[in-house]
Amino acid sequence: MLKLTDVHVHFGKLHILQGVSLEVATGESVALLGRNGVGKTTTLRAIMGLAVRGRGRVEFDGEDLAECPPHEVPRKGIGYVPQGRGIFPNLTVHENLCIGLPGKSDGEREEYVFGRFPRLKERLKQAGGTLSGGEQQMLAIARCLMMRPRLIILDEPTEGIAPILVSEIRREIHLINQSGISVLLVEQNVQTALKLCQRVFIMEKGAVVHSAPSHELKTHPEIVHRYLGLSL
């Protein structure tokens, strides 16, 4: 479904992505792991067309996204929940939800999204910026779902969020995947990544250095230790 082949990104003289290759199959949930600063966020931004790509190829459902401008990428079916959430603090919850939609609101879809996130339904007229961190994260996810994505990309969705909402958000990610939407998740918590995702890609210094099914890493914790310096 999503395929990156040897993707490069430069910021000025800095060669930040040095040939990232990874793949997400239809219906699959995939985690992208790596220490701070290895280029996980830049990889996601490169997929969304938000970081200027050099050499390499990003394909979605067989289509090369090279010529696709950033605002068109979500319309192809890729939802993106950026690190730090990226909601509009001065718009209401409802306005935030509808921001990416072409034309009039989609009542059927709203009911579906409110069913998933009743907390948002109770706060429709509230400014996005007045929600708690966890609620803002839910809003960012809900906004993606409004666009009926086939793949959803999440960048550290539980970073800095109160523990009671963390498990709720993780459960939602699981249910989103269960409903048939593919997931690409950047996650600091390796246990969570292994629980939520079927496959894992590990990055070091601007490239993917290891990929494995999650069950393999669970039985070979030394691999996790080698690349991430963590004990499972």
Which residues contact ligand ADP (rule: CB under 6 A)? Answer: 11, 14, 16, 34, 36-42
> Cβ 164 to ligand ADP, closest distance in Å?
26
Please work out, in degrees rounded to the nearest 5, the angle formed at the alpha carbon of residue 85 by the alpha carbons of 194 and 31. Answer: 20
The DSSP letter of residue 140 is: H
Q: Is 42 in the site for Mg ion (CB under 5 A)?
A: no
Which residue in the shown chain puts its C-beta closest to Mg ion? 41
| Of 14 and 164, CB closest to ligand ADP | 14
**CA 107 → CA 130, 141, 151, 182, distances in Å?**
25, 18, 22, 24
Judged by CB under 5 A, does residue 41 bind Mg ion?
Answer: yes
Q: Which of the ranges 24-32, 41-49, 110-118, 120-128 carries the binding residues for Mg ion, by CB under 5 A? A: 41-49
Identify the helix (H) or strand (E) that includes residue 56.
none
Closer residue to ligand ADP (CB): 109 or 205:
205
**C-alpha closest to that of 72 among 28, 102, 116:** 102
Nearer to Mg ion, 29 or 41 (CB): 41
State how far the Cα of 51 lies from the Cα of 206, in Å rounded to an integer. 14
11 touches, from Mg ion, ligand ADP, none (C-beta below 5 to 8 Å by class) = ligand ADP
